Amino acid sequence: MKSSELFRASGIMALGTIFSRITGFIRGILIVAVFGTALLADTYNVANTMPNILYNLLVGGALTAIFIPQLVRSFDHDDGGDGFASRLITTISFILFILVAVGVYFAPALVRLYAPEFFTAGFETEKEIAIAFTRYCLPQIFFLGLFTMLGQVANARGSFGPLMWAPIANNIIGIALFGGFLLLSPGISLETITSKQILILGWGTTISVVVQALVLIPVIRHLGIKLRPRWGLAGLGKSFGLAGWTLLYVLISQLGYLVTVNVATSAAVRSAQEGISRGVGYTPYTYAYFVMLLPYSIVTISIITAILPHLSRLALVKNREEVRVQLIRAIKLVGVITIPSAVAFLFFGPLITQVIFIGIPAEDSRYIGYVLSALSFGLVAFSINLILIRGFNAFEDTRTQVISIFIINLISVGLSYFFLHFLKNQWVTIGLGFAFSISYIVGLLITLSLIKKHTGPIKIMDFFGQHLRLIGAAVGVMAPLFALTQYINWVGVNLSHLARAGELGIIMFMAFLGYLIAGKAAGVEEISMITHLRDSLVRRSPDVE
């Protein structure tokens, strides 16, 4: 795949992702305004996160890893792969339906698993609210699966945009739901929220996921793909064989995330017992993580989604050197955005979240920013690791990558429990951010050593020089701006929220412009990616060869 083709193919996805993330941001801001960041918010966020965890644990990771490579190979079938896709979608949909039914029945056990301290004496209200939200949100699992399967079918046929644009419908419904709720029922709390309000918020969240999946059906029809219910496992043996190792990969990953949820909610409950009322638990981690994923989602996901079908074709013809070249190119392109983003989150995390999350105390919003700053150290390594994992998937190697994710989560789990026991409760969630960062930095070294069996050596030095120049450009521009903001705070200038927003806007504009100039001056060729993406956003994305 040529760079120009990659830019054009990722451009339309980047535009869709930008709009998706903007609407998602608005939705997230409204959720924080409705629930706050303390234990009530944790009951909702634990319940709403659980469908994603269970879906990824049992099905989602396998679909992402194996669906496109297998679909690309099924194009050689007499029916163009329609039969294979129909059988896989039918089989997975049945599995998801059973999973939802079992999950709804065992909702109390699931809540106990992810938030055990809700079951301690004095927290009965939190427990009951979390169980109710869980039962209303678990049906999302079925529609998350449908959305992923239909989107991956479209991707395999060279249509990348719809998968990035569909979540906008989800977010618009969420904005209407939480915006309307904020207007009609402001100021809810653990003591005042009613069963009817819990039902509306829970089912409303699920309906938004239903719409996200259903809007892809016309897209599939437009592409001429004929999907119909088709029972049987003919031709699926290899897919499910590959899925076995992917399930182990996802199991390890989600067990690690289970520890994160457990530690964060434990810190929140213990903080509440100490009389600390501000949100310091799972909710601040959730929203800091959401902000951190913005550059990763806009650039990394767009590029790797565009490049994966091409990598699969290269792997099919055993062109290992070209796979290596494409992976290094993707790492460099992604670094152009993720590196300055990481530096910005490090320096300006509290300012960013204080501006974004309105309707809550400034102390709570700044705390989210501290977690964001801790997460920033791992953003670049996290993105590179994902790119390399797609390299494994292109070669249909779902086994070797298990080693990498095991080590990453082993480090994360160990550090999480270390911070829980040795940090003050109000700082544990920030410690979880550092645990994430350290684990992925170490894990990157492991992943690089493992992928050489397929591509030959991909060394850090293949991209370290470019990354070092980008880091120098970003720090050189942003450090003086950070010093300026600290001086403003030191002299005691009290700015209104609108003035803080203006301050952030000016800083980000100056940082972006200065970074472009410094990056070009440092001889980073890939800095032109921003210009290419800008140009490609106004053009229709062509089919990728």
List per-residue pLDDT tens for the chain, 545 residues long: 444 454 555 555 666 667 877 888 889 889 988 888 878 888 998 898 888 777 766 555 555 555 555 665 665 556 555 667 777 778 778 888 888 999 899 999 989 888 888 888 778 888 899 999 999 999 998 898 888 777 777 766 666 666 667 888 899 999 999 999 988 887 788 888 899 999 999 999 999 999 998 888 887 777 666 666 656 555 555 555 556 676 777 778 878 888 998 898 888 888 888 877 666 788 899 889 988 888 777 666 666 666 666 676 777 677 778 878 888 888 888 888 899 999 999 999 999 998 888 778 888 889 999 999 999 999 999 989 888 887 787 777 777 888 888 999 999 999 999 999 999 888 999 999 999 999 999 999 999 988 888 778 888 888 888 899 999 999 999 999 999 888 877 776 676 778 888 888 999 999 989 998 888 888 777 776 555 544 443 343 333 33
What pLDDT is recorded for position 418?
95
Query: Within its chain, how far is the Cα of 196 from the centroid?
Result: 31
What pLDDT is recorded for position 86?
76
Q: Whole-model pTM? A: 0.77
What pLDDT is recorded for position 121?
72
Give the integer Cα–Cα distance in Å for 262 and 124: 17
Give the Cβ contact number of residue 194 at 10 Å: 10
Q: Are 6 and 306 in contact (CB under 8 A)?
A: yes
Residue (of 443, 435, 430) closest to 415 by Cα position: 435
Cβ-based neighbours of 18, under 8 Å, separated by 6 or more: 298
Cβ-based neighbours of 152, under 8 Å, separated by 6 or more: 63, 64, 67, 68, 71, 163
- Which helix (H) or strand (E) covers residue 264, if one does? helix 237-273
Q: Name residue, tokens 């350290």.
A: 438
Give the integer Cα–Cα distance in Å for 160 and 184: 39
Residue 109, both tokens: 């056990």
Structural Rg of the chain based on CA atoms: 23
Cβ-based neighbours of 347, under 8 Å, separated by 6 or more: 373, 478, 479, 481, 482
Cβ-based neighbours of 441, under 8 Å, separated by 6 or more: 377, 378, 381
